[in-house]
Every structure is written in C-alpha cells, then in structure tokens.
Amino acid sequence: MRKIILGSMAAVLAATPLNAQSSADSHSVGLKIARVPLPGEGRGDFLLADPASNRLFVTHSQRLHVLDLKTLKPLAEVTGLTVAHGVALDRSGHAYVTDGNSDGVVVFDPASGRELKRIAVGKKPDAILFDPASSKILVFNGDSDDVSVIDPASGSVVGSIKLPNGPEYPQTDGRGHVYVTLEEGNAVAVIDTVKMAFDHLIPLTGCEGPAPLAFDASSRRLFSGCGNKVMVVMDADGGRVVASLPIGGGPDGIVYDPERKKIVVANRDGSWTIVRQVSADAYKVERTLHIDEYAKTVALDPGTHRVFSSTADLIWPPAVPGKKHLPNAKPGTFHLIVVSQL
C-alpha cells in the first residue's frame, strides 16, 4: 500500500490470544482490544470482512488466512503467493487476491483456499474490488499506473484503464463510479465503470500524499487519509472539500461505520484516529486510540461493529540512504487485532 519513509517508532504491544485479558482504552469505557496469533512470517496488508459468507480474509506476506468472522477460527489458507495485498469477492462466490511480485491475481475457492486460476494483470497489483454496477473485478496496479478489468464470467482481463498516476486505495459507489486515490497526484481519480474509462480528477485541496479512502453512500462523502496528517472529507459528486481534520502519522487504512457515524483512520505510528460524523459536512475528532505500531489497514464488520487489523512485533534495520526505511517482522509474532466497542 502507501509508500512512505518512516523512522523507528515506539515498541508494539505484546500479542495476546483472543480469550486472554484484553486491553482497554482510557477514553472509552468498555472498549476492548484483542490479539489473535496467526501462523507464518512477515507482516500483512489488506483485510476484508464479509458478513454474507461469515468470513474474514487476512493477507499475510506469502499467504492469505480465511477465518470465521464470528469466532475467528481458521477455515482455510491460500499459499504459494509472493506478496499478498488485496482481496475481493464476486457474486458467484469466487475470491480474488492480488499477488504483487508476480504481477498477477489468484482466483481461489474461499471455502477451501484451493487455487482455481492465475490471471496476469498490470505491474505490482495492490488493491482490488468488485464493482456491483458492472459486475467486474477491478485490479489497481501501482507500478503501471493503470487498472486491469477482469470479467468473472470468463476469468480473464477484458480491459485496461490508464490513470495519471499510480492508484492507491479505491471505493465504488455501486452506481457506475469508482474513486481511487492517487498518492503522487494529490487527487482522487474517478472511473466510469459503464464506459470502463478514466473520467476525471478531483484535486484534494490541503491533502498531501492521499492513501486510504472510505465512502459514505448516504451523504455521498469521501474520506481520505493524507500523509500531512489530515483527513480530508470531500463531496464525491461536486468535488468540494467540506472538512479537514488532524489525524496521526502514516495513515494507510480507513473505514466508515454508517450506523454509528464513525470513521476510523489507521495510522502507522501506533495510533488510530476516531472521527465522529455530526452531519454530512461537520466532523469532530472523538479521540486517538493507542494501538500496535503498523496496525495500518482496517476492515469493518458492520453487523458487530468490530474493526480488524493486523501487524507483528517489528524489527527496524539500519536506515539506508535513498531507500525506503521499512520494518521487518519478528519471527512468530504476526497477529490479528480485534477492536470492539469503538
């Protein structure tokens, strides 16, 4: 996901199993943070909660964990990946995971984890989503600055959409538009999924390095986490910026809970920024939740309102001039994070 150079931060919290004592944030009575160890090495990226199938998908370096959404017990595992990033589901029940270093997408059976097919796409595929309006899978390729369009019926790429910059984080409105942040362009690109073409750019005023993106379908508002430690709220139709709020450093994940009217921004710096939506154009930072460092991507279960993330105990190698300073994962410490009662 979002490319950023960060120095070493505070130590992460110790991983604990779900049935062990959970930590509570001092600003919220009843809030609980639980940690579920998962096998394998390395760190993770995107997660996807799917209440319809009662599954939680957790990408994790060279594998993908499929868990029971309610109990968090393991159901299946996809292996043989180079670097797993994003996950999407189509209407037929097939699942898709981007494999970043192989420039491909793996189609798999979510019940068993069995690989069904590999599809070649653009360079460095990262995020992926299913667009209900077109019934297509869209794959966002960071290094080729384009979107590969997959037809689930044929299991093949049926088109490519060129973008002005590398795409970062997409959202669909389900009505023929897909929005995706362009980190280097400080903008949101709008894709017409009827024509399957790039339509126009919406500049994100006051936002430097936009990465994560969430969408409120009711008020037609987009929420973008920015590298200059702000969250920008934008009218998806007119492009007007209606609010800007302070957040933590290195935002890389964001979710909107429409029932509770809350936005959760996951930052790399060991914090989540919790924002309350007062109205379509009014927002208030409710609190900063202290959490594990690099718990930077999030998924929401709208039924239980639980928010999921993942990380590992981090080891920071010496910085090398001219290269991104990224942490390594301490062996055997990868874990799912479950936050309840936000």
Question: Quick one: pLDDT band at residue 12, thresholds 50, 70, 90?
Answer: very low
Q: Tell me if 246 is assigned to some domain.
A: yes
User: The domain that contains 11 carries what CATH number?
Assistant: 2.40.10.480
**pLDDT for residue 168 is more than 70:** yes
Mean pLDDT calculated for residue range 103-126: 98
Mean pLDDT calculated for residue range 280-286: 98
Q: Tell me if 304 is assigned to some domain.
A: no
Q: Tell me if 88 is assigned to some domain.
A: no
Q: Tell me if 28 is assigned to some domain.
A: yes
Own/partner long-range contacts of 223-227 (Cβ < 8 Å, ≥24 apart): 223/254, 223/256, 223/263, 223/265, 223/275, 224/181, 224/188, 224/254, 225/251, 225/252, 225/253, 225/254, 225/265, 225/267, 226/251, 227/2, 227/4, 227/183, 227/251
Mean pLDDT calculated for residue range 277-295: 97
Question: Quick one: pLDDT band at residue 91, thresholds 50, 70, 90?
Answer: very high
217-262 residue pLDDT tens: 999 999 999 999 999 999 999 999 999 999 999 999 999 999 999 9
Range of the domain at 222: 1-43+207-298+333-342
Mean pLDDT calculated for residue range 148-175: 98
Q: Tell me if 249 is assigned to some domain.
A: yes
Mean pLDDT calculated for residue range 118-129: 98
User: Among 6, 54, 11, 64, which residue's Cα sits nearest to residue 319?
Assistant: 6
Q: Tell me if 228 is assigned to some domain.
A: yes
Q: Tell me if 110 is assigned to some domain.
A: no
Mean pLDDT calculated for residue range 327-341: 95
Number of domains in the chain: 1
**pLDDT for residue 174 is more than 70:** yes
Q: pLDDT over 90 for what percent of the chain?
A: 87
Question: Quick one: pLDDT band at residue 342, thresholds 50, 70, 90?
Answer: confident
Q: Tell me if 179 is assigned to some domain.
A: no
Q: What is the pLDDT of residue 28?
A: 54
